[in-house]
A and B are shown apart, each in its own frame.
Chain A
Amino acid sequence: MNVSGPSRSGVGDGRGDVIVETRNLSKTYRDFWGRRKKVALKPLDLEIRRGEIFGLLGPNGSGKTTTLKLLLGLIFPTSGEALVFGSEATDVRKNERIGYLPEESYLYKFLDAEETLDFYGRLFDMPPDERRRRALMLIEMVGLARDRKRQLREYSKGMTRRIGVAQALINDPELVMLDEPTSGLDPIGTREMKDLIVDLKARGKTVIMCSHLLADVEDVCDRIAVLHQGELKELGRVEDLLRVGDVTQIRARGLPPAAEAEIREVLARHGGTGVEIGNPKTTLEDLFLEVVRDAEARPGRRAAASLRGGDDHSTRAG
């Protein structure tokens, strides 16, 4: 299932394993008369590398789903370009290596789980034996073995979400795009979904996900991009973005209270062993809200470095 399209940029399997790249990618929706209706995405430059879990965050209407649709070729850019595996996003051959879970599981309700996976397997030109093997394996994996003969119209939202995930993985894709993957799932389902995403990463897959559920993103994403009103406001590794740079946190386990004074004394003398010292984190939710507030206060600018404490480090005991 290799895409053999020519690489226009050297991205993809060659240069640093960048498999998704956008250059000045923008999207403006227009009405029937060509008048500008909404700027959904302002020029966006992104690179997503093989094996990482990349999260697109933003409030409603921020452009994250638009970005995903542009990467999938479901809509066309107004300017700029989106490259996936080195091919233009509108090149249908790239889809052989992609799995996509839409925000709602847009599936044919009159099919049952087996028929659904068989249908999507056919779309990948998979031979019958492989289709059957993959379908059974995925149905088992998403926990729908007992309900595989029921029409999807009878499924609960959570079950529909699971079969949606299964169809996204039917071709064992290299790149998985998930739009609100935990939407509609109960806490257990959410946990399983997050485990699945982490497992995909462990198997060398690349995952791009949109989500409103910040805790989920925080739990699984390596890097995130925060969009607001179609504009990229923040981009980086989650642990970097969440680090509070002007605070130093020291953690220790099982120390008697008397030892704290001793640690302080030790710290005062610049050293010690068995003591964990690091940067405490705020929550992703706090960061997200601050980014949004900052964006509204200062439109057209990237989020202030001070929001994440810059590179300043200060040490504080206790």
Chain B
Amino acid sequence: MVLEEEIPRFAAWIGPALVRYLFAGGLAAVCAAGAAWLTQAIAHGPLAAGDRVYRGILAGLADLAGTSPRRVWALARLAVQESLRRNVLVVLGVFGLILLFAGWFLDPASVDPGKLYIGFILAATNFLVCAVVLLLSVFSLPADIKSRTIQTVTTKPVRTGEIVLGRILGFALVGTVLLAIMGAAGWAFVVRSVSHTHGVAPEDLLDTTDESGATVGATGRTSLDRGHRHRVVIGPDGTGVAETAQGHRHRVRRVEGGYEIGAAEGLLEARRPLRGTLRFLDRDGRPSAKGISVGSEWAYRQYIEGGTPAAAIWTFSGLSERAFPDGLPLEMIVRVFRTHKGRIEDGIHGTVQLRNPDSGQRSEAFPIVAREFSIDELFIPRRVGTMLADGGTREVDLYEELVADGRLEVWLQCLEPGQYYGVAQADFFMRTGNGSFVVNYAKGCLGIWFAMLIVTALGVMFSTFLAGPVAMLATLAVILVGQFRGFIARLFESQVTGDFSIVPGGGPIESLVRIATQESITVDWDPTPAAQVIKAADTVLLAPMRLAASIFPSLSELGTGDFVTAGFAIPGDLLAAHAAETLGFVVAFALAGAFCLKAREIAS
């Protein structure tokens, strides 16, 4: 799975995050107060405007202090009733239809059906839940204002903050119920869709014999089900395994009259990984900050060249006999870049070697075959052979000779010249255990819930001063800018520093000109006066976008569905950080909505 940045500890993250939040919130509040003063100053003069803004802020704060949970709950209940009146439950029927079509069109014979099904279900749930709360939240308040029912509410001792909060709470409740139902139905659908077993026909098994000719087991293959079959290896005790195919395996045991193949394992998992830090050696064996770029625009994975001393080296910490008493369960995601086709159905051969980071003592190389699109497993036993200076080997205890203070280096090298291994830091890890898939799936749904809350709060905030359709567009615009906030930040940096290798092609105006003139984005403009004017204008245009992008939420970053689909347990630290981030956005949007509603004339 892709993990571009390390997940910080929540305790270490929350302090700086809170400071940034308060700073951004304070800045936004000052800007809003300035804008309010400006508009009032035009109508009433600067002094009166100042007085009005000051009194408005005081009144707003007093309103916040007088917030009543009972009123908020009453308005939340009303929002729920209104949602039901709008037949919001129809969306469950739509979801049911989607499941029907998914069962029809999703291919269980795909490379990794678990990933396909989970990814689809989470994406569909995310889209539907967010779309429903978006529609509810942006149209509710404008409809109330248009029908004037809001007048019977605001003429009661109701604070604007309560109106905003009540709506957010009500629609969030509706979204939560929908999410819970869709999540449960989706889980059942995924489990039922990927669950399968195989048969083993006697004619598909061949006995294996030892040197004396005695039968010690059998090998063969399973039946072809759901577009795949497994290679079966059965030991002398009659138990065995149907080896990994399509991201899963099965246990095999002898029963009366044949063999029984168990349920699929590895399809719906929640691995708990222990990750290390990654460094590289180049083709000459010299340390290198990066691997080789094979031309992919996405520089997440770096490549090492086969048949050379180039290596990717992970340094793991915290390895102990207590945590891994039997050995190290190393799991690897190794991508391959081929400069020649070779036998495409075969993997690319390489080695994994262990090294003591202090003494430099190395283990024997473990041969591996990198298969694309799967997680390869390599169990490193307690007793491993080590290389001696005279070329011989000696068997040593892993923890006594190779692990130094809990640290161990794992070297990956590609053996085939002309082929490349591509890896990222998160690609090698020790599996410390397995979490519950159901819990992990629920955590994935929690990520959707966070996104749903933010969409609701954002929609309600915009609906306090915009008409329904405009509020919807504004909400979508914020979500869109948030989605591309990383790109906008890099683009702005590129404009300001003049380093167009960060993002080639320039800002909006330059891009437009390049599109119109069909110029390549890889060729920078000569510094003509016209080019400089355009670049300066782009910088001016990008500045507010950069500011907005830094404070707008990125829903995709809040999502944790990738962990679930890739079969990794969602870290608690990440979830806690997302929860805090969501709370921060909801509070900010609720406050902004309350002040906007207070500042507008309800009955004009």
Residues of B within 8 A of A171 (CB): 156
A75-B601 Cα distance, complex, nearest whole Å: 5
Q: Considering only CB atoms, which chain A residue lies closest to B603 in the complex?
A: A74
Is A122 in contact with chain B by the CB < 8 A criterion? yes
Residues of B within 8 A of A69 (CB): 603
A74 touching B149, Cβ below 8 Å? no
A-B contact count (CB 8 A): 82
Residues of A within 8 A of B66 (CB): 92-93
A29-B601 Cα distance, complex, nearest whole Å: 11
A222-B361 Cα distance, complex, nearest whole Å: 104
Residues of A contacting B: mostly? loop
Residues of B within 8 A of A106 (CB): 147-152
Q: Considering only CB atoms, which chain B residue lies closest to A29 in the complex?
A: B604
* Interface-side segment among B25-33, B73-81, B289-297: B73-81
Residues of B within 8 A of A111 (CB): 81
Residues of B within 8 A of A110 (CB): 81-82, 85
- Which B residues, 365 to 381, have Cβ-Cβ distances below 8 Å to chain A? none
Q: Considering only CB atoms, which chain A residue lies closest to B75 in the complex?
A: A123
A111-B78 Cα distance, complex, nearest whole Å: 9
- Which A residues, 137 to 192, have Cβ-Cβ distances below 8 Å to chain B? 167, 171
Residues of A within 8 A of B305 (CB): none
Is A54 in contact with chain B by the CB < 8 A criterion? no
Distance of B463 from chain A, by nearest CB (Å): 17
Q: Out of A93, A96, A100, A125, name the residue touching B70 (CB < 8 Å).
A: A125
A171-B71 Cα distance, complex, nearest whole Å: 14
A98-B153 Cα distance, complex, nearest whole Å: 12
Is B489 in contact with chain A by the CB < 8 A criterion? no
Q: Considering only CB atoms, which chain A residue lies closest to B158 in the complex?
A: A123
A108 touching B59, Cβ below 8 Å? no
State whether A108 and B82 are in contact (beta carbons under 8 Å apart), knowing that A74-B151, A122-B73 are contacts in the complex. yes
Q: Out of A34, A93, A167, name the residue touching B157 (CB < 8 Å).
A: A93
Is A39 in contact with chain B by the CB < 8 A criterion? no
Is B282 in contact with chain A by the CB < 8 A criterion? no
Count of chain A residues near B, Cβ 8 A: 31
Q: Considering only CB atoms, which chain B residue lies closest to A171 in the complex?
A: B156
A96-B149 Cα distance, complex, nearest whole Å: 18
Residues of A within 8 A of B42 (CB): 34
- Which B residues, 41 to 83, have Cβ-Cβ distances below 8 Å to chain A? 42-43, 59, 63, 66, 68, 70-71, 73-75, 77-78, 81-82
Is A286 in contact with chain B by the CB < 8 A criterion? no
B155 touching A98, Cβ below 8 Å? yes
B158 touching A92, Cβ below 8 Å? yes
A123 touching B82, Cβ below 8 Å? no
Is A288 in contact with chain B by the CB < 8 A criterion? no
A107 touching B149, Cβ below 8 Å? yes
Q: Considering only CB atoms, which chain A residue lies closest to B39 in the complex?
A: A34
State whether A91 and B155 are in contact (beta carbons under 8 Å apart), knowing that A76-B601, A123-B71 are contacts in the complex. no
A107-B153 Cα distance, complex, nearest whole Å: 9
Q: Out of A75, A95, A119, name the residue touching B603 (CB < 8 Å).
A: A75
Distance of A157 from chain B, by nearest CB (Å): 16
State whether A124 and B157 are in contact (beta carbons under 8 Å apart), knowing that A34-B43, A74-B603 are contacts in the complex. yes
A110-B149 Cα distance, complex, nearest whole Å: 12
Residues of A within 8 A of B82 (CB): 108, 110
Interface string of B526-543 (1 = CB under 8 A from A): 000000000000000000
- Which B residues, 565 to 604, have Cβ-Cβ distances below 8 Å to chain A? 601-604
A110-B83 Cα distance, complex, nearest whole Å: 11
A73-B150 Cα distance, complex, nearest whole Å: 13
Q: Considering only CB atoms, which chain A residue lies closest to B42 in the complex?
A: A34
A120 touching B152, Cβ below 8 Å? yes
Residues of A within 8 A of B156 (CB): 95, 120, 123-124, 171
Is A248 in contact with chain B by the CB < 8 A criterion? no
Interface string of B515-530 (1 = CB under 8 A from A): 0000000000000000
Is A102 in contact with chain B by the CB < 8 A criterion? yes
A73-B159 Cα distance, complex, nearest whole Å: 12
Q: Considering only CB atoms, which chain A residue lies closest to B156 in the complex?
A: A123
Is A104 in contact with chain B by the CB < 8 A criterion? yes
A142-B602 Cα distance, complex, nearest whole Å: 29
Residues of A within 8 A of B195 (CB): none
Distance of A99 from chain B, by nearest CB (Å): 8
- Which B residues, 108 to 156, have Cβ-Cβ distances below 8 Å to chain A? 147-156
Residues of A within 8 A of B43 (CB): 34
Is A242 in contact with chain B by the CB < 8 A criterion? no
Residues of B within 8 A of A26 (CB): none
Q: Considering only CB atoms, which chain B residue lies closest to A151 in the complex?
A: B85
Residues of A within 8 A of B63 (CB): 92
A92-B147 Cα distance, complex, nearest whole Å: 21
B601 touching A104, Cβ below 8 Å? no
| B71, B78, B155, B159, most chain A CB atoms within 10 A | B155
A111-B152 Cα distance, complex, nearest whole Å: 14
A110-B70 Cα distance, complex, nearest whole Å: 21
Residues of A within 8 A of B155 (CB): 72-74, 95, 98, 100
Q: Considering only CB atoms, which chain A residue lies closest to B160 in the complex?
A: A92
11 contacts between A and B (CB under 8 A): A29-B604, A92-B66, A100-B152, A106-B148, A106-B152, A108-B81, A108-B82, A119-B78, A122-B73, A123-B75, A123-B157
| B→A interface (CB under 8 Å) | 42-43, 59, 63, 66, 68, 70-71, 73-75, 77-78, 81-82, 85, 147-159, 601-604
Q: Which 10 residue pairs of A and B lie closest in terms of their CB atoms, listed nearest first?
A: A122-B74, A74-B603, A123-B156, A106-B148, A100-B155, A110-B85, A95-B157, A75-B601, A96-B157, A106-B149
